[in-house]
Amino acid sequence: MNWKMKEVVLTVILAVACGVLYLGWSTLWIPISALVGPVGAGFMFGIWIIASPIVAYIIRKPGAALIAEVAAAAVEMLTGSHFGLSALLIGVFQGLGAEIAFALFGYKRYNVFTLMLSGALAAVGSIAYNLIANGLGYYTTQMFFLTLGIHVISGMVLGGLLAKVIVEALARTGVLNPYEIMKSRRKQGKSHAVASRV
């Protein structure tokens, strides 16, 4: 892995920003889940995995999704999350899930589909952790699949799709110009230009 220092720090800082957002989101989750129940509150899940698609989409390197999510989870833990050490572990599961989506396409394809797939697989990872640690297996079968479905949809929309929206908005501001996402776009643009001239 030949990560540039620039990319390392970018990954960490975006993860830190996400971690701070996660913490706020976690605090918001308690009253909402008290109101509509844990299954209903599953629709909020997607935000907690957004670090993976955002960073992987910008950096486009193997391991980016996993590292970003674990770092964001570590930040959430260190700043005093009410999930404690389990915030760190669940980050590993979600990050692995998200990473698989990009690995499946050999880290070549970065479009809305792969981003949403990464959100869905991160949701599966999170459910796998919850099955082991948080007693999701004690729910009735119906309740379990309902929870899984809501998490996957939320992961696709609030994770993958929102990540796409955010990164596109960031790209418009020009701050992403030195990174892989804009580099590959410039390359594509250039080849188009050459083709049109020929």
Partner 1 sequence: MTSNGSWLASVNPACKLIAHLCVMFMLMAVSDPVITLCLWLLAVVTGIVLGGWRIGYLLKRLLPYTLFFVLIFWMLAAFGKGEHVIWQWAWFRVTEESLNNGLTIGLRMLGFVTYGLLFTSTTDLTALMMSLIHQLHLSPKWAYGMLAGFRFIPLFQSELQQMKSAHKIRGYKQKNSWKAFTRYALPLFTQGIRKSERIAVAMEARGFTGTRDRTYYLAPVMEGKDWVYAAGLLVVAGGIIWLLKFM
Residues near partner 1, by CB under 8 A: 3-6, 8-17, 19-21, 24, 28, 30, 33-34, 37-39, 47, 54, 67, 71, 75, 77-89, 132-135, 138-141, 143, 165-166, 169-170, 173, 175-176, 178
Judged by beta carbon, residue 165 or residue 193, the one nearer partner 1 is 165
Q: How far is the CB of 25 from partner 1 (least distance, A)?
A: 9
Q: Rounded distance, CA 99 to CA 63, Å?
A: 7
- By beta-carbon proximity to partner 1, the closer residue of 67 and 117 is 67
58 close to 86: Cβ distance less than 8 angstroms: no
Q: Any idea which residue has 């479009």 for tokens?
A: 111
Minimum CB distance to partner 1 smaller for 137 or for 189: 137
CB of 198 to partner 1, least distance (A): 36
Q: How far is the CB of 102 from partner 1 (least distance, A)?
A: 19
Least distance (Å) from partner 1 to the CB of residue 193? 27
CB 99 within 8 A of CB 60: no
Q: Tell me whether residue 123 or residue 176 sits nearer to partner 1 (CB atom).
A: 176
Q: Is 153 exposed, middle or buried (0-12, 13-18, 19+ CB in 10 A)?
A: middle
Rounded to a whole number of angstroms, the minimum distance from the CB of residue 68 to partner 1 is: 11
The three-state secondary structure class of 77 is helix
What are the structure tokens assigned to 40, written together? 């209903």
Measured from the Cβ of residue 102, the count of other Cβ atoms closer than 10 Å reads 28
Q: Scanning the structure block, which residue is given the tokens 């955002």?
A: 54
| SS3 of residue 110 by DSSP | coil
Residue among 132 and 193 whose Cβ is closer to partner 1: 132
Q: Tell the smallest beta-carbon distance from residue 196 to partner 1 (Å).
A: 32
Rg over CA atoms, the chain: 18
| Shorter beta-carbon distance to partner 1: residue 80 or 106 | 80
